[in-house]
Structure 1
Amino acid sequence: MVELRTKVKIVSRKLIKPAAPTPPHLKSYKTSSIDQLAPPAYVPFILYYDANGDKNEVDERSKHLEKSLSEILTLYYPLAGRYIKDKQLVDCNDEGAEYLEAQVSGKLAQVLQGELKPELLNSLVPNVMPSETTPLAFVQVNMFECGGLAIALECAHFIIDGITATTFFNAWAKACKAEGVNEVIHPSFDLASFFPPRENIMPMVPPKKPGPRANPIITKRFLFNKAAISSLKATAKGGAGDSESLSKRQPSRVIVVTALIWKALIAVNKARHGHLRASTICHSLNLRGKTALSIPDNSFGNFYMVANARFGGDNESKFELPDLVNALEDSIKNGLDDCMKPQNGDELVSVLTKSLSEVGKERERGETDIYMFSSWCRFPFYEADFGWGKPAWMSIVAIPMEIIGMFDTKDGDGIEAWVSLHEQAMLLFQNYPEIKAFTSQI
């Protein structure tokens, strides 16, 4: 077991300001009504880089990282500002992003190859305590004894979504490698013009964190390799004699993995309660290029929807993988179809708030099990090259709420599912026969 918790020492902490002052006419960045819907949370991820050359080059790499971060913040200037909640805007005051350096005892290979508990990775990301003066972006550069690096980025979700965070990280990498921002695509800051802030809009409410006496949340990683996913796709299409299923397009990797996890969760709750229960899967979908509005693909901010797939809990025959795949595909198709209809931003925001409101009411009634799924598959994490090669691995950290995150394996064919469940549910989940059959638990 890799022990990291007591072996990560913060050795420096500073604010990195943009290399050039933000012009006066850009000092106030208005957030959008979709930003208002996002959870009031900071979301981290970590990219791991093998040692490349002399260990003494780590100091030189750190200088390059700081310099290029300062340069890229001139393009992504809201991330160097501070959020003023009452005014629904970011004061782009160039106070800076927080930049931490940490020394890690041990070698990166221990993390990449060893058995580890996801919560041990939490010490590799900044510990953010939100307040009015809290930076909107944090970076922690973790330096291993071998010269390997783990670079963590943690950003305010109420300002940007996962696509923007990944684009920012990759732009920073490109600026570091190219020694300048000339090759970097500039972000577009127009979302608030399509979706102005609204009064009395309620953000998405994440699942409650357990109290001190509650059943603790456990996070585990489950790896679905290419062969397992191919087998799941074949199962999802139904038997060879089913002409309707044969004519259907093969479901995606994300859909079949989500459906299997959902099937296992339905079984877990049946075992815990003694009967089938209704459940809802909430899946986040990037909306760039998927609406009738002329919104640039490089838009900075939150631009996603939550599609809700439902299992009624009253008919065991609909509990099979093909049925759950169909429910997921229908929910995503219907959600995206609904987002193509609006001809203006106000109508689109109404569609998004309706979807979130429905789940909020279900959660209040307490009769439906609700699971949040977030897929980061096809996000170009493994392209982020700072000049010393592409990442060896990408990860998140343990999350103290019931949620499922999905990420590409490095080869792009498999999926790593990070599943966070209450301890009792996790014991049942990890021993569910199909989870054991189709995954390797890490």
Structure 2
Amino acid sequence: MSQITTQNLNGTCIQIEILNEKLIKPSLPTPNHLNSYKLSFFDQIAPNFAVPLLYFYPPVPPENSHLQCVEEVHKQLQNSLSEVLTKFYPLAGRLSEDGTSIECHDQGVIYLEAKVNCQLNEFLDKAYKDSDLVKIFVPPIRIRLAELPNRPMMAIQATMFEHGGLVLAVQVVHTLGDGFSGCAITDEWAKVSRMEKGNVRNLQFRSDLGEVFPPRDNIFEMIKKGRPRGYEMKIATRIFMFDEIAISKLKENVNKFMSYSSRVEVVTALIWRSLMRVVRLRQGHNRPSMLQFAINLRGRGSPKVVGEDQNFFGNFYLDIPIKYVSSHSNQDPELHEIVTLIRNAKNKVLSEIANASSEEIFSILIESLNQIREGYNDDEIDLYPTSSLCKFPLNESDFGWAKPIWVSRVNVPFQMFFLMDSKNGIEARVCLNEDDMIKLEKDVDIVEFSYVPK
């Protein structure tokens, strides 16, 4: 096969040619007793889209003589993927017609071999400034939830740059896994590729989340309608880098008022406060603001309910609403006040989760989601979803010749911000309406504590 996609890059025409498409199946047949993988109620309410991550790798060094040929690189990636699919066997399955389970008959995941007519460094120089460019490497395979029966749950595209280097785009439908699961899949795949099989076999993932938190027939009747802000706006995206010096300074300022603050807390609080300030510039006064804050629940549940080992594969996270209402119409909150607000909201929910039954956790989930949906529909509240992949092993995924130079997400068509670890700090990808983005780029805190990558 040959499929060519063209995009104009500042006057330069970039062409991606898909050379081959393969279905990669598990190296060993999935046992009959695992042919049906039950989804959980967390999986049922997961967003209706796939989640791509893009890993940019440098050229293979000369000492890796067995990988100097493009065909050998694809072969190693495909063979190791086949092996890791024996552990993550639901990825190679298909969604059942009733949407409550995955039929695991080793149907396979899509693997695309592609090439692009530009060099890696040339592309990265542009992509750091225009983060929307990375989407051209995402597999052109639609795997939205409504289309999933008989469609793959996972698609991969390995695109080779001119004169070496590649970008590996890995996309898994959100119904089957959250950020933790997506990162774990690629990390395990990389370990197999670089022949660290002993490490892979020692690290096991539980695949019984649907047994602990079984799916509900009427779940969508319990959830209010609503979606994030921005679909009706023109969204601009910028990447802001917070290096460790800036983060240490923020933590030092905050820790004068509390015993401890995390990297993620202070950066999240600073961005949220800057967004509030942008709204005040636009409206002339402070408005109520809400974060939709994602919490990884692994290790947070009651051992009596979920067991001691909570290393679940699937969606095991909770979005919680965190609301700030200013008591002053024209003043900023102190940064430590925002950090405390985030910390208290998170701790309150986690204390409830720690001793809750499956049914009680379900009630907490629905209540939190409905509060967020109410925020979506309230024109008097500014609501920003946010999530963090910090401390996940994104930058460690070495397939046998190097760790990635850069790991990127794709932009979203609504207002949101993401945090990820960078080489020397935290990378924040902020998606915001165009007019507000102009103000955010000039915000005093953003200018002082972050920089735009060159």
> What TM-score results when the alignment is normalised by the length of structure 1?
0.91
What residue is the counterpart of 2:31 in the other structure?
Answer: 23
Give the Cα separation in 1 of the matches to 2:308 and 2:230: 35
Match of 1:105 in 2: 117
Aligned positions of 1:385-400 closer than 5 A: 385-400=398-413
Q: C-alpha root-mean-square deviation of aligned residues, in Å? A: 2.1
1:335 to 349, 370, 379: 349
Contact 2:227 2:376 in 1 (8 A): no
2:229–2:383 CA contact under 8 A, matched in 1 = no
Shift of the 149–189 alpha-carbon distance from structure 1 to 2, 3 Å rule, reads: same
1:416 aligns with 2:427: yes
What corresponds to 2:276 in structure 1? 266
The answer on 1:9 being equivalent to 2:17 is yes
Alpha-carbon distance between aligned partners in 2 of 1:289 and 1:275, rounded to the nearest angstrom:
41
Q: Distance in 2 between matches of 1:182 and 1:426?
A: 44
Cα distance in structure 2, aligned partners of 1:66 and 1:117: 31
SS at match of 1:86: coil
Whole-Å separation in 1 of the counterparts to 2:99 and 2:49: 18
Alpha-carbon separation, structure 2, partners of 1:340 and 1:103? 49
CA distance in 2 between partners of 1:401 and 1:319 (Å): 26
* 1:95-174 mapped onto 2 (5 Å cutoff): 95-114=107-126, 115-129=128-142, 130=144, 131=147, 132-174=149-191
How far apart are the structure 2 equivalents of 1:259 and 1:380?
24
1:78 corresponds to which letter in structure 2? P
Deviation at 1:426, TM superposition (A): 0.9
TM-score, with structure 2 as normaliser: 0.89
Query: Cα offset for 1:179?
Result: 7.5
Partner in structure 1 of residue 4 of structure 2: none
Would you say 1:325 and 2:336 are equivalent positions? no
Output aligned runs, 1:16-415, within 5 Å.
Answer: 16-53=24-61, 56-84=68-96, 86-114=98-126, 115-129=128-142, 130=144, 131=147, 132-178=149-195, 183-184=200-201, 185-202=203-220, 206-207=227-228, 210=231, 214-238=232-256, 245=257, 248-293=258-303, 294=307, 296-316=309-329, 317=331, 319-342=333-356, 344-411=357-424, 414-415=425-426
**Structure 1 stretches of 4+ moved >6 Å:** 1-5
Q: Kindly tell me: are residues 5 and 127 of structure 1, through their superposed partners in 2, closer, same or farther at Cα, counting changes over 3 Å?
A: farther
What is the identity, as a one-letter code, of the residue corresponding to 2:119? K
> What letter corresponds to residue 20 of structure 2 in structure 1?
S
For 2:366 and 2:318, how far apart are their aligned partners in 1? 9
**TM superposition shift of 1:49:** 1.3
Question: How far 1:187 moved relative to its partner?
Answer: 2.1
Structure 1 residue 37 displacement after superposition? 2.2
8 Å CA contact retained: 2:230, 2:432: no
Identity %: 36
Q: Say which SS state the counterpart of residue 274 (structure 2) adopts.
A: helix
Task: Give 1:229 shift.
Answer: 0.8
CA contact (8 A) 1:49 1:392 kept: yes
Question: Runs of 5+ in structure 2 lacking a partner?
Answer: 1-8
Q: Once the two structures are superposed, what CA deviation does each residue of 1:249-294 show, in whole Å capped at 9, x if it has no partner?
A: 2311111111111111111111222221101111111111111131
Q: Deviations over 1:75-125 (max 9, x none)?
A: 111001111252411111211111112212222222445543111100111
Moved more, 273-282 or 315-324: 315-324
C-alpha deviation, 1:205, in angstroms: 5.5
Aligned partners of 1:354, 1:218: CA distance in 2, in Å? 31
Separation in 1 of the partners of 2:136 and 2:238? 17
* Cα distance in 1 for residues equivalent to 2:10 and 2:354: 48
Q: Secondary structure at the match of 2:392?
A: coil
CA distance in 2, matches of 1:87, 1:51: 42
Q: Which residue of 1 aligns with 2:6?
A: none
Contact 2:20/2:114 (8 A) holds in 1: yes
Instruction: Please say if residues 72 and 181 of structure 1, whose CA atoms lie closer than 8 Å, have aligned partners that are also in contact.
Output: no
For each residue in 1:293-349, what CA deviation from the matched residue of structure 2 results, as whole angstroms up to 9, or x when unmatched? 31523311111112322111442556221211111111111121121120x211112
Superposition deviation, residue 381 in structure 1: 1.2
The number of residue pairs the alignment matches comes to: 428
